Amino acid sequence: MKRSLGLFLFVLIVNLAISHLAQAQSQAGFISLDCGLPVNEESPYNETEATGLLYSSDATFIQSGNTDSIPANQEDSYLKPLWTLRYFPEGKRNCYDLNVEKGRNHLITARFVYENYDGDDDGPKFDLYLGPNLWATVDLRGNKYSTWEEILHIPTSNLLQICLVKTGRTTPMISSLEIRPMGNDSYITTSGSLKLLYRECFTESGSYMRFPDDVYDRRWWPYFRKQWTQINTTREVAILNDYDPPKDALATAAIPTDATEPWTYEWSNSDNPSASYYLYAHFAEIQDLQANDTRQFNILFNGQQYDGPLIPKKLEMTTIVNSSPRTCDGGECSFQLTRTDRSTLPPLLNALEVYTVIQFPHSETEESDVIAIKSIKDAYKLNRIDWQGDPCVPQYLMWDGLNCSISTNISTPPRITSLDLSSTGLTGTISTAIQNLTKLEKLDLSNNKLSGGVPEFLGNVESLTVINLSGNNLNGSIPQALQKGGLELSVEGNPRLYCASDSCAKSTKKKFPLAIVVASVAVAAIVISVLLLFLVIRKKKSTVVEGLHLLPGTSAVNATFANKSSRRFTYSEVVKMTNNFQRVLGNGGFGMVYHGSVNGYEQVAVKVLSQSSTQGYKEFKAEVDLLMRVHHTNLVSLVGYCYEGDHLALIYEFLPNGDLKQHLSGKGGGSIINWSTRLRIALEAAQGLEYLHIGCKPPMVHRDIKTANILLDENFEAKIADFGLSRSFQGGGDSEESTVIAGSRGYLDPEYTHSGRLAEKSDVYSFGIVLLEMITNQPVINQTSEYSHITQWVGFQIKRGDILEVMDPNLGKDYDINSAWRALELAMSCANPSSSKRPSMSLVINELKECILCENTGISTNRGLESQEMNVSLDTTVVPIAR
């Protein structure tokens, strides 16, 4: 008896161990993150109420964000992994970095439970990205206190980045994140990823199923219609493919109650009528058929033959899937099973999955570049909140301090071409990881505290043409590999660094005997003392500019920019680069703008101060001061400046397609740009403005936004220019600053004009006028018209009730009507006479994205539509109000 009992206990223990081991193994590759869970608080833990899954804190997978939890009285409504959350009040993009298996399909699920955790009773709305691509827009506004997103996605690298991107004033948050590797031969598509629409098993009772019933932790919901009858079995259905749904999902099926009727499943997707779908239908015969019984049916999608005739196998699952994506007319979709003439039994279906296809257009940055830049980030302990996600794409989220080459061919990954870490407090030696940025053209490490020698490997990066190492503590000699033609090397401000050859670039400093150095310093000290005495005597005769006393021949501007990293040019260099000012590009309030080239290949635009310019010194200082500390892909880059006596000049990157104004009018050789390009240009200009408003410290107001100050590069990418009137403000939403009124007639914010109080909403007004110009191609000021201002003209046209009269006739009606409507309403909202009613630039960006999406998805159905009536209430004081 004792021996039997011992054997029983032994077998029981072994079975329990095997069962526990099997469950642990079944979670192999699973990533289950409880977002916001403190590391020292029960992490990891098993969720015991429903799944038994092992959850861990998300703290080690993300570098930013704060933690909180839902109210205690709401916890009973959710499983434990949803009790805590992480929210992101700082930064535009915050990303999770997760190690996955490259090339394998993964089920990715993100859960968001708001439940008014912050007491604001205002749920957030934000974008969710997979790497560089938009996955979904999460909207928890109103009474929607929880939601979730699920996708099947094949990562193109071993690092998966899931990012929350702020799009408005609300704060992104997340409750849980789950990654599950899938079977190798399941959910194969011709292209794109699969976003879940429906996943259902057909039963009249029961709750939803997930792990451990589903080995991949998919969620299955019970669904049934009154036109159906349920059949079921107690026997197990064999599964011979990698889809592997829960056995309980296959143990029941639905058949039409009226055996002569088809089995029908319908859905509507009016929000995205052009969506394409993949369907996965799981069939198994679970009834005992009589000798003369036959169950055979055809499968139809939107009335067309999809598959069949099919005879389900007895107690063995068959999965039917379309080999290419299918679409539905107007978003109205129908999936039907119809019995054949030889069938004696109605059709059946056990379970069904429906997915929409999401195309991800952006390739991730070249993996070797990503590894290199992250190594540089780690080496210098750069905890920049904006250095998250893909370094290069999307372009409006490109890491600060980088430039990248981005090909129009989506199969060509972006490459990092410029790295600017000037004035960022770097210490230690020059990181060896820099040599792995094999397409790097420009490297700026100036004005830091770097020590050690200049490494030989910099000369091995063949693409490098500009290296700025000035203002550090480097020592030793400059390697021969860097003393070559075609390389611009700057090393001044490194007193222990010398050049052992006469072939150094002219910006390098030769090593001199100590006696000569001491003598030179002594002489310089005497000269400076004499000059200081002279300045004190002449103080009363000085001219005050922006708080600096400027004397003829002194260098207050030089002092202001002495520590700036951009290159300073001599006047003779300016004359040479412009070929003696041969080619004029334009003329502005500052002075003439000329075409030029640096080093014989880099094209530049050179703005030379006119001697008659009354704002010259102020604008010069403001523009140099701003552009030397801001870097954004949609702001014009400053190459350098010249301040030599009375000669002041600003040298910018050259943008070959001129300004937006000439491309709206077609004058000056400009081509008429189409509607989709106009929307993209508007988005890019808005991104540049948003960066000035919330990305700069202190925030900046441009004060002169107009179509002539939006320049276009060779790809018609927009860049904002002319920062001479820009001013800082305190930020914080309503903060304002009293300034002298400045700007361009017609674009000036009427509220700012009357009060002299400056805020970022002044730029929003000007942007609204720019957007109206892009929509209508009408002059901002037209003295010959009864409606002299563009807002008055638009208001008049709206009263006539025809949007086609508002749109630029040069577009030839080649635009989506709904997209045009949204853009017009946005422009009117921006140009509202009351600043409190204008949106922020972040909201403008979000709405422009919606316009572009509307244009892209509605292009086929709305092209060539005739006039549509407009229903817009008007604020007759200045501008119409958005409907």
| More confident: 801 or 598 | 598
What is the arithmetic mean of pLDDT over 564-582? 82
Output the pLDDT for position 432.
Answer: 93
Interval 629-640: pLDDT, tens: 677 889 988 888
Q: How many CB atoms are closer than 10 A to CB 301?
A: 18
Residue 281 in 3-state DSSP? Answer: strand
Given a cut of 50, whether residue 186 has pLDDT beyond it is yes
What is the arithmetic mean of pLDDT over 534-542? 43
Among 187-191, 358-362, 553-557, 803-807, the minimum mean pLDDT is found in 553-557
Given a cut of 50, whether residue 15 has pLDDT beyond it is no
Strands 106-113 and 638-644: unpaired
Given a cut of 70, whether residue 99 has pLDDT beyond it is yes
Percent of the chain exceeding pLDDT 90 equals: 54
What is the arithmetic mean of pLDDT over 58-81? 94
Residue whose tokens read 């004033």? 169
Interval 762-777: pLDDT, tens: 899 999 999 999 999 9
Interval 811-824: pLDDT, tens: 888 888 888 988 99
Output the pLDDT for position 546.
Answer: 31
Given a cut of 90, whether residue 647 has pLDDT beyond it is no
Given a cut of 60, whether residue 503 has pLDDT beyond it is no
Say what the pTM is. 0.58
Among 452-456, 484-488, 575-579, the minimum mean pLDDT is found in 484-488
Q: pLDDT band for position 617 (50/70/90)? A: low
| More confident: 740 or 276 | 276
Output the pLDDT for position 622.
Answer: 67
Backbone phi, then psi, for 144, in 5-degree steps? -85, 95
- Report CA-CA distances (Å) from 205 to 717, 803, 816: 56, 53, 46
> Is residue 274 classed exposed, middle or buried when 0-12, 13-18 and 19+ CB atoms within 10 A define those classes?
middle
Q: Cis (ω within 30 of 0) for the bond into 212? A: yes
| More confident: 541 or 62 | 62
119 dihedral zone (left: phi>0; alpha: psi -120 to 50; beta): left
What is the arithmetic mean of pLDDT over 520-527? 50
Output the pLDDT for position 481.
Answer: 85
Q: How does DSSP assign 220-255, residue by residue? A: BEE---TTEEEEE-SSPPB--STT---HHHHSEEEE
Q: Report how far residue 862's alpha carbon sits from residue 848's, in angstroms, rounded to the nearest whole number.
A: 18
| More confident: 239 or 795 | 239
Given a cut of 80, whether residue 20 has pLDDT beyond it is no
Note whether 718 and 634 are within 8 A (CB). yes
Q: Which two tokens stand for residue 372?
A: 């290199």
Which amino acid type is present at position 350? N
What is the arithmetic mean of pLDDT over 750-761? 76
What is the arithmetic mean of pLDDT over 315-330? 93
Output the pLDDT for position 556.
Answer: 38
Q: Among the options 214, 420, 704, 816, which is catalytic?
A: 704
DSSP letter for 63, please. S
Q: pLDDT band for position 616 (50/70/90)? A: low
- Report CA-CA distances (Å) from 30 to 39, 58, 103, 183, 817: 19, 14, 16, 13, 46
- Report CA-CA distances (Å) from 691 to 406, 442, 488, 565: 21, 23, 30, 21
Q: Could you tell me which of 648, 639, 566, 577 has the C-alpha nearest to residue 611?
A: 648
Interval 266-282: pLDDT, tens: 999 888 899 999 999 99
Backbone phi, then psi, for 219, in 5-degree steps? -100, 125
Average pLDDT of every residue of the chain: 83
Residues 6+ apart with CB under 8 A from 297: 263, 308, 309, 310, 337, 338, 339, 340, 343, 346, 347
What is the arithmetic mean of pLDDT over 419-443? 94
Interval 124-164: pLDDT, tens: 999 999 999 999 999 998 767 899 999 999 998 899 999 99
What is the arithmetic mean of pLDDT over 82-90? 96
Output the pLDDT for position 318.
Answer: 96
Note whether 684 and 708 are within 8 A (CB). no
Output the pLDDT for position 266.
Answer: 95
What is the arithmetic mean of pLDDT over 224-232? 95
Output the pLDDT for position 860.
Answer: 39
Backbone phi, then psi, for 782, in 5-degree steps? -135, 95
| More confident: 347 or 866 | 347
Q: Could you tell me the sign of the dihedral formed by the alpha carbons of 869, 873, 878, 879, in that order? A: negative
Among 232-236, 263-267, 634-638, 867-871, the minimum mean pLDDT is found in 867-871
Given a cut of 50, whether residue 834 has pLDDT beyond it is yes
What is the arithmetic mean of pLDDT over 184-205? 92
Among 233-242, 566-575, 766-775, the minimum mean pLDDT is found in 566-575
Output the pLDDT for position 679.
Answer: 95
Q: Which residues are part of a known binding site?
A: 607
Strands 427-428 and 449-452: parallel
Output the pLDDT for position 729.
Answer: 59
> Is residue 738 classed exposed, middle or buried when 0-12, 13-18 and 19+ CB atoms within 10 A define those classes?
exposed
Q: Which residues are part of a known binding site for ATP?
A: 607
Q: Report how far residue 454's alpha carbon sits from residue 462's, in angstroms, rounded to the nearest whole number.
A: 16
Which amino acid type is present at position 240? L
Note whether 386 and 399 are within 8 A (CB). yes
Output the pLDDT for position 618.
Answer: 63
What is the arithmetic mean of pLDDT over 796-812? 82
Q: How does DSSP assign 832-856, residue by residue? A: -SSGGGSPPHHHHHHHHHHHHHHHH
What is the arithmetic mean of pLDDT over 441-458? 94
Full 3-state SS string of 138-178? EECCCCCCEEEEEEEECCCCCEEEEEEEECCCCCCEECEEE
Full 3-state SS string of 405-457? ECCCCCCCCCEEEEEECCCCCCEECCCHHHHHCCCCCEEECCCCEEEECCCHH
Q: Cis (ω within 30 of 0) for the bond into 309? A: yes
Note whether 765 and 830 are within 8 A (CB). yes
Listed in sequence order, the DSSP H helices in 338-420 are: 367-379
Given a cut of 90, whether residue 445 has pLDDT beyond it is yes
> Is residue 690 classed exposed, middle or buried when 0-12, 13-18 and 19+ CB atoms within 10 A define those classes?
buried
Based on the residue annotation, tell me whether 704 is a catalytic residue of this protein.
Answer: yes
- Count of helix runs (H) and strand runs (E) in the chain: 14, 48
Q: At 797, which helix (H) or strand (E)?
A: helix 790-800
What is the arithmetic mean of pLDDT over 556-566? 43
Output the pLDDT for position 360.
Answer: 92
Residues 6+ apart with CB under 8 A from 74: 115
Q: pLDDT band for position 613 (50/70/90)? A: low
* Domains parsed from the chain with CATH numbers: 29-182 (2.60.120.430), 194-358 (2.60.120), 367-513 (3.80.10.10), 569-654 (3.30.200.20), 662-862 (1.10.510.10)
